[in-house]
């Protein structure tokens, strides 16, 4: 006779009690994220398969720009084929500086067009000296260095992207592995750190971003220290703001301070790529009519939205900045601030040593090298991973 089976024990259901939203929980989540970043390498951020565009520094600016646009990117590492070494980054800021320089120095639009089209990338630093703007830092880091160290280097240098460089063990030549961006890092955190959902404190209370100074000492700019434009501002006036302030977007407001659009450096790049240099004298209103119809719109948020909601948005959409607007009746849509990915990353990483970054963070020749498989790599942020639906307080306008 069979012995009776023991009663089956039911598994205990997970607790449905929500985690209390306290300052201590928020700070503990931050510390957990920082610990996570210290235990991951910069290479872990990249998906199973990715591509890399590298430009020879003797390439003409127009051809380089066409290569960027054809591949859907806005920056690329530069390579000195004579020395077989990394030579910096080519970004939209370089194009902005070129436009500003030739707009002032050329005798005509035709001459400016010819100069820009035949300008070689190796001479970019000369333009910066002429404009008296600081050159971008020539920084890099080894792919196997901790991701937390890479984030610190991004913050210290105020760079938006960080090349990952290795050495060829046989020749000693540098190898560009990829480029780490603020967006990739924050998306990596949003996907792989559950603690990110506990960052419940509001963006305003955390002081993330640049906010309008209600007691502005500048009567000519009621939104000080934020640069703004109107629909009647000329494109070149905004280009000057981009170059002078080192920013990549300017909110467009109406007479009541309501945000009606956002003009970005990529909008200027489109004009240059098409050879529409005369459009630099156009108003923003006219220039926006040449914007691609698939423009996603301005992503806005309110001061009360949480950091967790912002990271959730980054996980679901390619976001580079958010415009903070008022939600109160009678003031709805009025500009209150702007938050960039740099602001978010700096808060997440926390206080760091303010000492200037080294010129290069590469290990010496003979250090462990990184073998990059042809078909891709294993990683934590798998693009095929199924994610929960977005539910946040942000909206495209």
Question: Which pLDDT score, from 0 to 100, does residue 390 have?
Answer: 29
Question: Which pLDDT score, from 0 to 100, does residue 117 have?
Answer: 66
Question: Which pLDDT score, from 0 to 100, does residue 330 have?
Answer: 77
Per-residue model confidence as pLDDT tens for the chain (397 residues): 555 555 565 555 554 555 677 899 999 999 999 999 999 999 999 887 888 999 999 999 888 988 888 888 889 999 999 999 999 999 988 888 888 887 777 655 556 666 666 789 999 888 888 888 888 888 999 999 999 999 999 999 888 999 999 998 888 889 999 999 999 999 999 999 999 999 999 999 999 999 999 887 677 788 999 999 999 999 989 998 998 888 999 999 999 999 999 999 988 877 776 666 667 888 999 988 878 777 778 999 999 999 999 999 999 998 999 999 998 887 899 999 999 999 999 999 998 764 444 444 433 333 333 433 333 443 333 333 333 332 334 555 5
Domain ranges of the chain: 23-352
| Tokens read off for 1 | 């006779």
Question: Which pLDDT score, from 0 to 100, does residue 394 have?
Answer: 52
Are 41 and 142 in contact by the 8 Å Cβ rule? The answer is: no
Are 340 and 180 in contact by the 8 Å Cβ rule? The answer is: no
Alpha-carbon distance values, 189 to 155, 196, 197 (Å): 16, 7, 11
DSSP labels, 60-84 = BHHHHHHHHHHTT-SEEEEEETTTT
- In sequence order, what are the residues at sequence separation of 6 or more whose Cβ sits closer than 8 angstroms to the Cβ of residue 144? 41, 42, 43, 368, 370
Question: Which pLDDT score, from 0 to 100, does residue 366 have?
Answer: 34
**In CATH, which of 3.30.1370.100, 3.30.70.980, 3.40.640.10, 3.10.580.10 is domain 23-352?**
3.10.580.10
Phi/psi at 58 (5° precision): -95, 0
The residue count of the chain comes to 397
Question: Which pLDDT score, from 0 to 100, does residue 10 have?
Answer: 57
| Tokens read off for 238 | 């905004």
Are 324 and 302 in contact by the 8 Å Cβ rule? The answer is: yes
Are 310 and 344 in contact by the 8 Å Cβ rule? The answer is: yes
Are 37 and 229 in contact by the 8 Å Cβ rule? The answer is: no
Question: Which pLDDT score, from 0 to 100, does residue 347 have?
Answer: 97
Q: How far apart are CA 320 and CA 34, in angstroms?
A: 22
Question: Which pLDDT score, from 0 to 100, does residue 363 have?
Answer: 39
| Tokens read off for 66 | 């066409």
Question: Which pLDDT score, from 0 to 100, does residue 370 have?
Answer: 42
Q: How far apart are CA 33 and CA 126, in angstroms?
A: 41
Output DSSP code: residue 306. Answer: B
Are 182 and 154 in contact by the 8 Å Cβ rule? The answer is: yes
């Amino acid at each position: 006779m069979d012995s009776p089976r023991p009663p089956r024990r039911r598994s205990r259901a997970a607790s449905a009690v929500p985690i209390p939203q306290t300052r201590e929980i928020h700070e503990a989540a931050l510390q957990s994220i920082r610990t996570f970043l210290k235990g991951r390498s910069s290479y872990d951020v990249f998906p199973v398969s990715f591509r890399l565009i590298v430009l020879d520094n003797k390439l003409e600016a127009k051809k380089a720009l066409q290569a960027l646009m054809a591949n859907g990117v806005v920056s690329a590492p530069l390579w000195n084929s004579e020395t077989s070494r990394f030579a910096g980054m080519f970004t939209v800021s370089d194009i902005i500086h070129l436009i500003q320089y030739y707009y002032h120095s050329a005798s005509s639009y035709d001459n400016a067009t010819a100069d820009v089209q035949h300008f070689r990338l190796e001479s970019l630093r000369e333009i910066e000296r002429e404009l008296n703007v600081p050159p971008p830092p020539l920084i890099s880091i080894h792919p196997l260095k901790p991701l937390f160290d890479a984030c610190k280097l991004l913050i210290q240098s105020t760079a938006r992207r960080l090349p990952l460089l290795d050495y060829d063990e046989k020749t000693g030549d540098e190898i560009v592995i990829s480029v780490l961006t603020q967006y990739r890092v924050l998306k990596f955190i949003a996907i792989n750190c559950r603690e990110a959902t506990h960052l419940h404190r509001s963006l305003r209370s955390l002081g993330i971003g640049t906010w309008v100074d209600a007691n502005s000492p500048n009567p000519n700019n009621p939104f000080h220290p934020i640069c703004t434009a109107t629909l009647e501002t000329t494109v070149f006036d905004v280009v000057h703001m981009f170059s002078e302030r080192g920013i990549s977007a300017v909110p467009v407001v109406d007479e009541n301070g309501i945000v009606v659009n956002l003009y970005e450096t990529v909008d200027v790049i489109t004009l240059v790529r098409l050879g529409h240099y005369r459009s630099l004298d156009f108003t923003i209103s006219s220039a926006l009519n040449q914007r691609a119809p698939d423009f996603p719109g301005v992503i806005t948020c309110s001061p009360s939205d949480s950091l967790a909601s912002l990271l959730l948005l980054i996980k679901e959409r390619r976001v580079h900045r958010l415009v903070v607007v008022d939600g109160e009746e009678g003031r709805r849509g009025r500009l209150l601030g702007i938050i960039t990915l740099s602001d978010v990353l700096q808060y997440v990483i926390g206080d760091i040593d303010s000492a200037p970054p080294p010129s290069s963070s590469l290990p010496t020749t003979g250090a462990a090298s990184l073998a990059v498989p042809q078909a891709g790599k294993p990683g934590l942020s798998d693009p095929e991973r199924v994610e929960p639906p977005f539910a946040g307080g942000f909206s495209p306008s």
